[in-house]
Amino acid sequence: MTPKPGKIFLVLNITIQNNAVEKGFDLTDSSLSLSYARAGTSPVPSLTTQVRGGLENPIIMPTKIEQNDKRIGQVVFSVADDSGRYTINLLGSDGAVVASSAPIAV
């Protein structure tokens, strides 16, 4: 798979830990989004499931992360090739942001 013209694949090594959800957290591609630091831009969804065959250590989704358990691995986003700062958002089943990363510079 190749990115669309003007885009690149951003591969990030991340850790997601469930510290609070007693019934477990259902992690899917739609649970992760990447927000640009620029105002007025829409979040970018994860493409991990679509491109995981080319990754060394993908986080296999969908998966359930039990309370106090974690997943470590790579996730993929398609981003503009001239972009710079991002935040990873973890979304609950209702689409609300439940956690965000510190800004990431690319």
Write the CATH number for 53. 2.60.40
Q: Is residue 2 part of a domain?
A: no
How many domains would you assign to the chain?
A: 1
Is residue 90 within 8 A of residue 100, CB to CB? The reply is: yes
In a domain, 87, yes or no: yes
Task: Give this prediction's pTM.
Answer: 0.85
User: Does residue 94 sit within a domain?
Assistant: yes
d(CA 65, CA 87): 21
Cα–Cα separations (whole angstroms), residue 21 to 16, 30, 56, 70? 13, 18, 29, 12
Q: Which domain holds residue 83?
A: 7-105
User: Is 33 a domain residue?
Assistant: yes
Residue range 78-96: mean pLDDT, rounded: 87
**Is the pLDDT reported for residue 93 higher than 80?**
yes
Q: How confident is the model at residue 41 (pLDDT cuts 50, 70, 90)?
A: confident
41 or 28: which carries more pLDDT confidence? 28
Query: Cα separation of 9 and 78, whole Å?
Result: 5
Q: Is the pLDDT of residue 23 over 90?
A: yes
Question: 50-75, pLDDT tens digit by residue?
Answer: 888 889 999 999 999 999 999 999 99
pLDDT at 43: 85
Domain-located, residue 47:
yes
pLDDT of residue 39: 65
Residue 97 within any structural domain of the chain: yes
* Two tokens, residue 23: 């019934």
Mean confidence (pLDDT) of the chain? 90
In-domain check, residue 1: no
